[in-house]
A and B are shown apart, each in its own frame.
Chain A
């Protein structure tokens, strides 16, 4: 499969900062959505995205193009979000944080929605699978590659994740 990012990736691999900035521009919102939906926090997601892009920039010379650049980048993003989650366990959350920028209020409301609260209760593997497939539209093959499991496992995780999500949403609706 031809990688639409290949020309920019090749330039960025030679140290072309402008080319890498174009790649950031192209992928930042999807990577942020992935991190925000799997972490349930805009702030933590932005930290994870920043970390992911730094790792990608530093690791780019080692990227051999065996997969799509986006697959490679999402894999870094999933790992950065996972690390962010582990960090959360060791650092107290700043409960007083409010979005400073009014433009962030949309993200904040999205991330406090019933759907997000249900997503937060899913197992991480299920959450990553449904967000990548249903929200970001990635293929089974790509998800299998970046989460290092078989395609059948990806399908099973999406199925169970969706079912559990609907169950949680139904419970919440019934309670209201």
Chain B
């Protein structure tokens, strides 16, 4: 008789979790008062819950984390990052050179004839300005002798390099990069411009 009216597991679970509507909860409570089988199941479920909830979160061993990160397949090159930057730089450089060459050719041919010179001069001026800007970057680099320097904060520079696939970390306000060449790091930092953050490249 009682067996035919046993509540389903789901309702017994919801009873333990106190998720039933009050009316249904009272019905289940009344059933449990008379059904030893269900009452025992509910008692065990509550005890099992308590045992499980006493467990702590386990920590992945530190060495394993490093192993995971080391063994990740090489990142796919993401469009619009380095490649995009280099394309733009390359195009700007070529355009500037062509314009300067064209201007020089025109000047040589015309001996400084005004019409063409004024027309090309405006554009060439812009290119010269771009060249000068990049020249300033070179000077800033020279001024810092052998070291590499980049704009922004050390954290920003390190993050930027990490995003570009370098092993970079901040150490005493300097950014240390391992496993790369200076030229690679310089290229990667070119879009940041000169700054005060020292970047030290350590080859393996």
Contact = CB atoms under 8 A, between A and B. Distances in A.
B67 A50 contact: yes
A83 interface: no
B69 interface: yes
B61 A46 contact: yes
Contacts, number: 140
B44 interface: yes
Interface in A13-48: 14-21, 24-25, 28-33, 36-37, 42, 45-46
Contacts of B51: 115, 165-166, 169
Interface string A1-18: 000000000010011111
A36 B58 contact: yes
B109 interface: no
A103 B62 contact: yes
B114 interface: no
Given A33-B57, A54-B73, A57-B72, A165 B13 contact: no
Given A18-B163, A29-B59, A33-B58, A163 B65 contact: no
Nearest to B16: A159
B21 interface: no
A27 to B, nearest CB: 10
- Chain B, interface size category, equals 35 or more
B101 to A, nearest CB: 38
B181 to A, nearest CB: 19
Contact of B72 (A54, A61, A165): A54
Interface in B65-115: 65, 67-69, 71-73, 75-78, 81
A162 to B, nearest CB: 3
Contact of A49 (B10, B13, B47, B60): B60
Interface in B1-17: 8-10, 12-14, 16
B65 A28 contact: yes
Interface string A81-105: 0000000000000000000010110
Interface string A123-159: 0000000110011000000000000000010011011
Interface of B: 8-10, 12-14, 16, 41, 43-49, 51-53, 55-65, 67-69, 71-73, 75-78, 81, 159, 162-163, 165
